[in-house]
Structure 1
Amino acid sequence: MLFGIYSLLSASLFVVLDAVDVAFTEASVGAGVATVFMLGTLALTTSREKTPGAHKPLLPLLVVLVTGAALIYGTSDIPHYGDPGNPIHQHVAPRYLEDSAEEIGIPNVVSSVLASYRGYDTLGETTVVFTAAIGVLLLIGGARRRRRSEEPPRPDREEEDA
């Protein structure tokens, strides 16, 4: 929890320093996702060691390989990094660089783009990250509650419950 609080305070400091883009990232990843992962880990941790299964299913490996192949295929036709002939360098970027200080009034161009021109997009991305994290926690918590209700009561646990 201290790491989450520290991350939230860091995000507030970045806002004060006019680096809203870094603040959004810090709030999403540091205070949001890292805290959710820590709480999820604590929710999955038990006092008993689980016995390993006889074999692992191949479906997760297949899903990872197919997804990886699709991502590699998807990057095959993107323009080369830093190429001045890329479409982004012809229309949008020059306008942002030249007009953002006058239109928005924020001295940092990246912050002006993320906080004003693409503010709803950035807010939407942050909302998606938090929603996904909460959905994972709900799924994990529901499965754990179902397992716990199916287990027969243990004699040592009855003493703790009493």
Structure 2
Amino acid sequence: MSPGLVGIAIIDILLFTFLVVTAIAILRLRNLFGVVMLAGVFSLLSAALFVTLDAVDVAFTEAAVGAGISTVLMLGTIALTFREEKKPSHSALLPILVCAVAGAALIYGTRDMPAFGAPDTPVQTHVAPDYIARTPVETGVPNIVTAVLASYRGYDTLGETAVIFTAAIAVLLLLGASGKRRESKDSEGKE
């Protein structure tokens, strides 16, 4: 293995280790502000990991949506709700069991997948060569990923953006309505 690949592997292992440590810290915290900040850190670490995997478009999306918009929305939610998580009144056994079963099903589903980066996969032998040959001629965009997202899948990308925007507006409206109810209950209790 070349020294460059060893360095990249070490960076990947370090980033993944930081992701695991951050996830464990998120699970242990009860302060929601700390959880939101660590979730932003988790998104930035994920974006860095995507960059090392040469998925810069996914890294950009993760940084913008995961660390940017999501963090702002969660901070807005905390401003309208409570700062501390309430202690759970039930056992965590059922959620852990559901996660374990879902994880086992996902691992089982990946057993038939080809090796990561294998050159003989259908996407490498059928889809990718077609995009590489047609994209510069049909779109005039030199970056193939940008051409696929903005040109070939433009309506799909617009639809995804509209769904995220609609969900954000719905959450803000719901939180605004619950904040007004809490204010009216507080003012009634003081009288």
TM-score by length of 2: 0.52
In the alignment, structure 1 residue 40 sits paired with structure 2 residue 77 = yes
1:7-50 per-residue CA deviation (whole Å, 9 max, x = no partner) reads: xxxxxxxxxxxxxx56972553354323222212222225xx67
User: How large is the RMSD of aligned CA atoms in angstroms?
Assistant: 3.7
1:9 is matched with which residue?
none
- Which of the numbers 157, 162, 165 marks the counterpart of 1:122? 157
Aligned-partner residue type, residue 126 of structure 1: T
Paired residues in the alignment total 135
Aligned-partner residue type, residue 41 of structure 1: I
Aligned-partner residue type, residue 118 of structure 2: D
Which structure 2 segments of 5+ residues have no match? 1-56
Closer/same/farther in 2, CA of residues 133 and 80 from structure 1, 3 Å limit: farther
Q: Distance in 1 between matches of 2:120 and 2:160?
A: 28
Aligned ranges 1:16-95 → 2 under 5 Å: 21=57, 25=61, 27-45=64-82, 52=87, 55-95=90-130
1:106 is matched with which residue?
141
1:5 is matched with which residue?
none
Aligned-partner residue type, residue 37 of structure 1: M
Q: Secondary structure at the match of 2:149?
A: helix
The CA deviation at 1:116 is: 0.8
1:101-126 per-residue CA deviation (whole Å, 9 max, x = no partner) reads: 11101111110011111222223333
Asked if the contact 1:44–1:144 (Cα under 8 Å) also holds between the matched residues in 2, the reply is: yes
The CA deviation at 1:149 is: 7.0
Q: Distance in 2 between matches of 1:56 and 1:145?
A: 33
Aligned-partner residue type, residue 71 of structure 1: L
Aligned-partner residue type, residue 76 of structure 2: L
Q: Distance in 2 between matches of 1:116 and 1:55?
A: 49
Identity of aligned residues (%): 49
Deviates more, 1:143-152 or 1:80-89: 143-152
Aligned-partner residue type, residue 74 of structure 1: G
Higher helix share: 2
TM-score by length of 1: 0.59
Q: Which fold has the larger relative contact order, with Cα–Cα distance below 8 Å and residues 6 or more apart in sequence?
A: 1
The CA deviation at 1:59 is: 3.6
Which structure: larger Rg?
1
Q: Distance in 1 between matches of 2:106 and 2:168?
A: 23
Asked if the contact 1:32–1:130 (Cα under 8 Å) also holds between the matched residues in 2, the reply is: no
Asked if the contact 1:79–1:86 (Cα under 8 Å) also holds between the matched residues in 2, the reply is: yes
